[in-house]
Amino acid sequence: MGERLLDTEEVGGSIPPVPTIVRFAIRPLIKDPGIKMKSIVVKLSRDKTVEVPPNKRIRDLISKVGADGNVIAAKLDGQVVDLDRELKSDCSLDWISLDSTEGIDILRHSTAHLMAQAVQSLFPGTQVTIGPTIEDGFYYDFKRDQSFTPEEIEKIEKRMQEISKSNLKVVREEMPKDKAIEMFRKMGEDYKVEILKDIPEDRVSLYRQGDWVDLCRGPHVPSTGKIKAFKLTSVAGAYWRGDENNEMLQRIYGTSFPTKDALREHLRLLEEAKKRDHRRLGRELDLFSFHPIAPASPFFHPKGAVVYNELIAYIRGLYSRYGYQEVLTPQIFDVELWRRSGHYNHFKDNMYFTQIDDREFGVKPMNCPAHTFIYAARKRSYRDLPLRLADFGRLHRYEKSGVTAGLTRVRTFSQDDAHIFCATEQIEEEMTSLLKMIHEVYETFQFHQMQVKLSTRPDPYMGNLETWERAENSLADSLRKRGIEYQVNEGDGAFYGPKIDFEVMDAMKRGWQLATIQLDFAMPERFDLSYVASSGSEARPVMIHRAILGSIERFMGILIEHTGGALPLWLAPVQLRIVIVTDQQKSYAQEVLHKLRNAGWRVELDDRNEKLGFKIREAQVAKIPYAVVIGDREVSNGTVAPRARGGKNLDPMSVEEFLNYLQNEVSSVKQNEARQNGGVQ
Report the first-to-last Cα separation within the chain, whole angstroms.
55
Strand duo 412-422 + 487-489: pairing: unpaired
Q: One of 417, 501, 506, 606 is an active-site residue; which one? A: 417
Taking the complex as a whole, the smallest distance from the CB of residue 343 to Zn ion amounts, in Å, to 11
The packing angle between helices 586-598 and 655-669, to 10°, is 40
Taking the complex as a whole, the smallest distance from the CB of residue 368 to Zn ion amounts, in Å, to 3
198 is catalytic: no
For Zn ion, the closer of residues 371 and 577 by Cβ is: 371
Q: One of 113, 545, 615, 623 is an active-site residue; which one? A: 545
H/E run at residue 488: strand 487-489
For Zn ion, the closer of residues 415 and 671 by Cβ is: 415
Report how far residue 41's alpha carbon sits from residue 31's, in angstroms, rounded to the nearest whole number. Answer: 20
Which residues does 13 contact at the CB level (< 8 Å), separation at least 6?
none
Of 256-264, 268-276, 507-515, 544-552, the segment contacting Zn ion by CB under 5 A is 544-552
Encode 528-593 in three state secondary structure.
Answer: CCCEECCCCCEECCEEEEEEEEEEHHHHHHHHHHHHCCCCCCCCCCCCEEEEECCHHHHHHHHHHH
Taking the complex as a whole, the smallest distance from the CB of residue 656 to Zn ion amounts, in Å, to 47
Of 209-217, 388-396, 531-539, 634-642, the segment contacting Zn ion by CB under 5 A is 209-217
DSSP secondary structure string for all residues of 253-300: EEEEESSHHHHHHHHHHHHHHHHT-HHHHHHHTT-EE--TTSTT--EE
Taking the complex as a whole, the smallest distance from the CB of residue 51 to Zn ion amounts, in Å, to 33
For Zn ion, the closer of residues 368 and 517 by Cβ is: 368
For Zn ion, the closer of residues 58 and 395 by Cβ is: 395
Taking the complex as a whole, the smallest distance from the CB of residue 396 to Zn ion amounts, in Å, to 15
For Zn ion, the closer of residues 116 and 156 by Cβ is: 116
Taking the complex as a whole, the smallest distance from the CB of residue 213 to Zn ion amounts, in Å, to 11
For Zn ion, the closer of residues 192 and 457 by Cβ is: 192
Q: One of 216, 251, 276, 368 is an active-site residue; which one? A: 368
Taking the complex as a whole, the smallest distance from the CB of residue 196 to Zn ion amounts, in Å, to 14
Backbone angles phi, psi at 46, to 5 degrees: 60, 40
For Zn ion, the closer of residues 216 and 307 by Cβ is: 216
419 is catalytic: yes
Taking the complex as a whole, the smallest distance from the CB of residue 311 to Zn ion amounts, in Å, to 19
Report how far residue 485's alpha carbon sits from residue 503's, in angstroms, rounded to the nearest whole number. Answer: 12
Distance set, CA 371 to CA 330, 376, 463, 543 (Å): 10, 9, 21, 10
Of 227-235, 451-459, 541-549, 555-563, the segment contacting Zn ion by CB under 5 A is 541-549
Q: Pick the closest to residue 540 from 455, 460, 458, 464 (CA basis).
A: 464
Of 365-373, 423-431, 479-487, 565-573, the segment contacting Zn ion by CB under 5 A is 365-373
Report how far residue 460's alpha carbon sits from residue 472's, in angstroms, rounded to the nearest whole number. Answer: 16
Of 73-81, 216-224, 339-347, 459-467, the segment contacting Zn ion by CB under 5 A is 216-224
Q: Determine the Cα angle at 503 with ends 500 and 508, to 5°.
A: 175
For Zn ion, the closer of residues 368 and 662 by Cβ is: 368
Report how far residue 172's alpha carbon sits from residue 217's, in angstroms, rounded to the nearest whole number. Answer: 9
Is 231 a residue that touches Zn ion (CB under 5 A)?
A: no
Taking the complex as a whole, the smallest distance from the CB of residue 239 to Zn ion amounts, in Å, to 22
Backbone angles phi, psi at 648, to 5 degrees: -75, 130
Is 183 a residue that touches Zn ion (CB under 5 A)?
A: no
Which residues does 506 contact at the CB level (< 8 Å), separation at least 6?
447, 512, 558, 561, 562
Report how far residue 390's alpha carbon sits from residue 386's, in angstroms, rounded to the nearest whole number. Answer: 13
415 is catalytic: yes
Distance set, CA 258 to CA 103, 227, 266 (Å): 9, 8, 12
Q: One of 226, 397, 546, 615 is an active-site residue; which one? A: 397
Residues of this chain, 6-45, that bind Zn ion according to CB under 5 A: none
For Zn ion, the closer of residues 85 and 545 by Cβ is: 545
172 is catalytic: no
Q: Give long-range contacts, CB 8 A cutoff, 24+ apart: 349-357.
A: 349/398, 350/397, 350/398, 350/399, 351/396, 351/397, 351/398, 352/396, 352/398
User: For residue 355, what is the DSSP state?
Assistant: E
Report how far residue 347's alpha carbon sits from residue 295's, in angstroms, rounded to the nearest whole number. Answer: 20
Which residues does 560 contact at the CB level (< 8 Å), separation at least 6?
276, 278, 281, 282, 287, 407, 567
368 is catalytic: yes
Q: Pick the closest to residue 230 from 109, 72, 117, 101 (CA basis).
A: 109
Q: One of 343, 419, 546, 670 is an active-site residue; which one? A: 419
Q: One of 209, 415, 575, 671 is an active-site residue; which one? A: 415
For Zn ion, the closer of residues 545 and 615 by Cβ is: 545
Is 216 a residue that touches Zn ion (CB under 5 A)?
A: yes
Q: Of these, 276, 545, 615, 623, which contacts Zn ion (CB under 5 A)? A: 545
For Zn ion, the closer of residues 39 and 414 by Cβ is: 414
Beta-strand (E) ranges in 164-202? 170-176
Of 121-129, 195-203, 214-222, 290-298, the segment contacting Zn ion by CB under 5 A is 214-222
Taking the complex as a whole, the smallest distance from the CB of residue 460 to Zn ion amounts, in Å, to 22
Peptide bond into 219 cis (omega under 30): yes
Peptide bond into 28 cis (omega under 30): no
Q: Of these, 96, 98, 168, 368, which contacts Zn ion (CB under 5 A)? A: 368
Taking the complex as a whole, the smallest distance from the CB of residue 461 to Zn ion amounts, in Å, to 19
Taking the complex as a whole, the smallest distance from the CB of residue 366 to Zn ion amounts, in Å, to 5
Of 208-216, 286-294, 469-477, 633-641, the segment contacting Zn ion by CB under 5 A is 208-216
Number of residues binding to Zn ion, judged by CB under 5 A: 3
Of 69-77, 289-297, 366-374, 526-534, the segment contacting Zn ion by CB under 5 A is 366-374
Report how far residue 368's alpha carbon sits from residue 342's, in angstroms, rounded to the nearest whole number. Answer: 12
**Residues tagged active-site:** 368, 397, 415, 417, 419, 499, 545
List of residues contacting Zn ion (CB under 5 A): 216, 368, 545
